[in-house]
Structure 1
């Protein structure tokens, strides 16, 4: 089978400039470049170390449905659900998110690991997972 590795995830947002600022302020992603994909579709590639995140602003795009903003209800809609990133310490991460005024949608603590979902400035869900040692 061909080898491959993760390159980036992407989300559509209603305000590209606001989203670039949010991903920088809350998660530390820096703007790598802005570009146009097609008429009426502006995009930006953000980077944090080896991670990349692509944002799209499309003229006339439909708003994010309310169910897509709630982790338990989002599962009831087919399609891509979210990206998940690993964190070393969930509690420390949650403290940092509180300081940065992030919208925490859900915190889960299970024997196999803990995690949380936050919403970006457009309501898109992003998961952060802390796995137990060993």
Structure 2
């Protein structure tokens, strides 16, 4: 991805959480992320931690007066009605196997389907935040990123495909 000839790449995703400790543990045990840094940010009334896995990072915020995730943001079909960022999606070569392993570890698998011939699924993290996985036979790094494994649907297909998620 480029802008004016300059390369762009995803660096991190920020997530507001109830507990840094619980989220560091969840993302470590479930998805292999490791703690990179953890600091108090008094001006934000928050604690901020960065987790890493390869070249991608998660930025976790724990605000002193945190508010829980609204119920409508906890399921993929309801969440798309609320404006804003929806979820992160990771490509994986064996989504059914990954979801089975995450389920075995205690993850909350909320959707598991095949869409356009590709296995996909959603899990909720320990805060109820949605994380999507889509099967990609070629590692994302070799296909130019997630968009190569999950192209946008043509307009006509969007209406037909949407019924899969009801």
TM-score, shorter chain, exceeding 0.5 = yes
Residue pairs, 1:49-128, within 5 angstroms = 49-128=54-133
- Tell me which structure has the larger Cα radius of gyration: 2
The unaligned stretches of length 5 or more in structure 1 are: none
1:112 offset after TM fit, Å?
4.5
If each structure's helix is expressed as a fraction of its own residues, which one has the higher value?
Answer: 2
RMSD between aligned residues: 1.7
Tell me the equivalent position of 1:41: 46
If each structure's strand is expressed as a fraction of its own residues, which one has the higher value?
Answer: 1
Q: 1:30 aligns with which of 27, 34, 39?
A: 34
C-alpha separation in 2, matches of 1:16 and 1:132: 34
Higher-RCO chain (CA-CA 8 Å, sequence separation at least 6): 1
1:118 to 1:107, Cα distance in 2 relative to 1, 3 A? same
Q: Is the 8 A contact 1:69 1:124 kept in 2?
A: yes
Query: What TM-score comes out, normalization by structure 2 length?
Result: 0.75
1:36 offset after TM fit, Å?
2.7
Q: Deviations over 1:58-105 (max 9, x none)?
A: 111221000101100000000000111101011110121122110011
Q: Is the 8 A contact 2:96 2:119 kept in 1?
A: no
Query: What TM-score comes out, normalization by structure 1 length?
Result: 0.92
C-alpha separation in 2, matches of 1:10 and 1:115: 23
Aligned length: 134
